[in-house]
Amino acid sequence: MSHHYQFGNCFEDLKNAAHDFGEYVRDAANEAPWREHDGPFERMWRAPGDRPFSDYFFPRVNVFTERDGSLVFEFMLAGFDESSIGLSFKDDKMILKARLPESTPERESRHYEIHRFTLRDVDYRDYPVPAERYDQGRVRAAYKNGILTVTIPRREDSPETEGVKINIQSEGS
């Protein structure tokens, strides 16, 4: 058996697997609950809670911890005015809301050759920020070039270790 023959079978198997996968995706798309008012290119697969699946990835966000322990969020919010972005805290969550300017062109009337992103309002997104670890009162936010950077410093009085130490006593003491 030659190597050529083995690779020939391998590529045929890959081709068949790709075809089967395409059929699976097509069948799943036909059974998915689409929004009735969406056009064929703007259809979004619904996730649990009747929320579009794409909403879980909008706006794009990076989250990391600085060396000093501060928690940092970087939100990609191109097209928004600084005054239309709202941030607040409720318990252990940071809440983001943002509205596009009213002068945003009507997107329904456009014919896109390539459509890689959609500008839309951010009605409500929440992100975990534990109040016992981060000082929500000292948050800093800066908006530059379409990127909103939110920095929440670590609490100074925050214990270095997680949890509570439990003293164990022997029974009968």
> Is residue 13 in some structural domain?
no
For residue 55, what is the DSSP state?
A: G
Contact 88, 150 (CB under 8 A): no
pLDDT digit string, tens, across residues 49-78: 555 555 667 888 999 999 999 999 999 998
Distances (CA, A) of 147 to 81, 110, 138, 139: 11, 26, 20, 16
CATH number at residue 134: 2.60.40.790
pLDDT at 39 over 60: no
Q: Which residue has the higher pLDDT, 160 or 90?
A: 90
Domain that holds residue 141: 60-103+118-152
pLDDT digit string, tens, across residues 126-164: 999 999 999 999 999 999 999 999 999 999 875 555 555
Provide the phi-psi class of 79: left if phi over 0, else alpha when psi is between -120 and 50, else beta: left
Q: What is the pLDDT of residue 172?
A: 66
> Is residue 124 in some structural domain?
yes
Q: Which two tokens stand for residue 19?
A: 């075809």
Return d(Cα 55, Cα 51) in angstroms, integer.
7
> Is residue 159 in some structural domain?
no
Report the number of distinct structural domains present in the chain. Answer: 1
pLDDT at 40 over 70: no
> Tokens 């997680």 — which residue?
162
Where helices occur in the chain by DSSP H, the ranges are 3-31
Return d(Cα 40, Cα 106) in angstroms, integer.
17
Strands (E), the chain: 46-47, 51-52, 61-65, 71-76, 85-90, 93-98, 122-128, 140-144, 147-152
CA-wise closest residue to 151 among 88, 81, 74: 74
Mean pLDDT taken over the chain: 76
